[in-house]
Amino acid sequence: MAPPLPELADSRNKFEDLSGVNSSAYANPYDALIEACEGNPAQLQARYSTHRRTRNAQQKAKLLSPEFSGLIIDPILERLMDPSIEPGFKDFRHCLVFWARPPPHICSLVNKIQQELLTLAPKLWLMPLPNLHLTTLEITHSLTHPEIDAIVSNLGKPAAETMTDYTYSHKARLIKPMISYDGAALALSFVPAAGELLPPKGTSNAEERSQEDDDFTYHHLRRDLFNIARKTGVSVDSRYVVPSSHITVGRFLTQDDHDTPEKIVTWIKKIEELNAWLEEEYWPKEGGKRREDGQWIVGQERGLDFRKGTLWYGGGNTVRIGKGF
């Protein structure tokens, strides 16, 4: 039996759906938002945008509050990075996930953001670029190695192949990168596309993405993967199903870089400056040039990464990688 772990950072960091939709009554929680938006990609994008902007505003208020007592330090990552804290410590939380791996242009963008953040927080832990991932579906988390292997076996090879290859024929597009943050970590988040800067209806050719292609959003992808997994009899026990598509950029390992109210103010100002830069440079604009490096079609270069193991910080082992395009 594994020894007890320190108090998890997630236990002090609430993840709630701020889009205005309650999914608790649905067997597939992703159906709730799709139904509320009548499957309309523009409405889905608006809900994703509402969630991340509301959460950023909420977190900003917390960080600037006179009652703010300090950042949420991840005690497990802290021990993994500094073995002297607890010699011999091991992370026993085995997980099972389907990850989307960002293509090189998104990795490059993350790298630019990480380097900018380091100018104010040199002790920030950065997610290694090869480990970057977007959790499209979390089957389960915090179990033992044998328990995870049993679930892999129960899911079965046909379902695993279907799920990892799903993005080859179901191409969801993500746009409008923005830094989302709280007292524990930072992430680069995206929203589902809704026809921005695509050829007008009736003018696209076989090689161009059409307006109708954006009708299948990232939220539809998550819904479908959930359904495929559930049909095998496997229980899907995700930690949260909020309308967010984000890749972790960094986590806090110390209070040192943010130990005064003035440092917190400067930190938030830096994030907001970076978000203004992202919006100006990487968001689609009507009448503007069609910039490709601010968007991500999930499944570019490789399909989904079916992964198991101790992967909270981007590690683990691949069970199967799907076919890319």
**Model confidence band, residue 9 (pLDDT cutoffs 50, 70, 90):** low
**Model confidence band, residue 25 (pLDDT cutoffs 50, 70, 90):** confident
Q: What are phi and psi of 320, to 5 degrees?
A: -160, 140
Contacts of 139 (CB under 8 A, 6+ apart): 96, 97, 98, 151, 155, 229, 234, 236, 237, 238
| Edge-to-edge strand list for the sheet holding 296-297 | 125-126, 245-251, 185-192, 173-181, 296-297
Tell me the pLDDT tens digit for each residue of 137-181.
999 999 999 999 999 999 999 999 999 999 999 999 999 999 999
**What DSSP string describes 138-190?**
EEEEEE-HHHHHHHHHHH-HHHHHHHHHHHHHS--EEEEEEEEE-SSEEEEEE
- At 305 the pLDDT is 98
**Cα separation of 56 and 179, whole Å?**
9
Tell me the pLDDT tens digit for each residue of 245-254.
999 999 999 9
- Tell the residue number behind the tokens 């236990």, with chain if given: 11
Cβ-contact 320, 302 below 8 angstroms = no
Domain 26-82+90-199+210-284+292-321 top-level CATH class: alpha beta
Cβ-contact 264, 68 below 8 angstroms = yes
Tell me how far CA of residue 228 lies from CA of 163, 177, 234, 283, 286, in angstroms: 7, 29, 10, 33, 37
Buried b (16+ CB within 10 A) or exposed e, 194-208: bbbbbeeeeeeeeee
- At 178 the pLDDT is 98
Picking from 180, 186, 242, the residue whose alpha carbon sits closest to that of residue 71 is: 186
**Model confidence band, residue 323 (pLDDT cutoffs 50, 70, 90):** very high
**pLDDT(199) > 70:** no
**pLDDT(76) > 60:** yes
Tell me how far CA of residue 116 lies from CA of 113, 198, 208, 277, 295, in angstroms: 5, 31, 35, 12, 21
- At 198 the pLDDT is 80
**Model confidence band, residue 61 (pLDDT cutoffs 50, 70, 90):** very high
Task: Please give the mean pLDDT across all residues of the chain.
Answer: 92
